Amino acid sequence: MKPCNYGKRALAYIIDVLFLIVPGIALALIGTPLLFADSSRGAGFAFLFIAAIWWMLADFANHVIKQGVSGQTIGKRSLKIKLIRIDTGKPLGVGLAFVRWLIIVVFSFMTGGLYILVDLIAPAFTEKNQRITDKMLSSVVVDTVDYDRPTQPVFQTTTPPPPPPLQPPSVNDPFS
């Protein structure tokens, strides 16, 4: 089991961010002008409300539920990498994925966003390419290409050896 490189990890994060912000920004771009038009102010609020709900639910669903169950966010799945626990080799589970998400959100809020920046850069400088949050929770991101490959073939393709030849009766055999 080999930790994935920092480039794949960073690209997966960028894909996750794009998945999160592109639909939200599209909704906000539609809603903002409507907000300032007297006749469609309610529609503008609705679009902005839906954008805010999208950002919260999509982030939670991707990083807590999806990653907790499968070990993969949308970005990680597209790059064939997976977040696993070091001790078991299995995905974190929804509970631990929630704790991971909560640590990132709370610490980033408390530090004015500095924590998330340091946390995202940390894998470039750690031995197992782990974020600070990964070190706290004993997790690591691995390449699934290496992780999911069986070490031995499932079916044996060799034929069994032939049975040993029959032996002639021995000379001291009392029944011969």
pLDDT digits (tens, 9 = 90+) for 76-127: 999 999 999 999 999 999 999 999 999 999 999 999 999 999 999 999 999 9
pLDDT digits (tens, 9 = 90+) for 142-173: 998 855 554 544 334 566 778 788 776 666 65
Among 30, 34, 2, 42, residue whose Cα is nearest residue 128 = 2
Q: Is 141 in a helix, a strand, or coil? A: strand
**Is the alpha carbon torsion for 151, 129, 18, 105 positive or negative?**
positive
pLDDT over 90 (residue 40): no
pTM, full prediction:
0.74
* Residue spans per domain, the chain: 6-147
Predicted local distance difference test score (pLDDT) of residue 156: 47
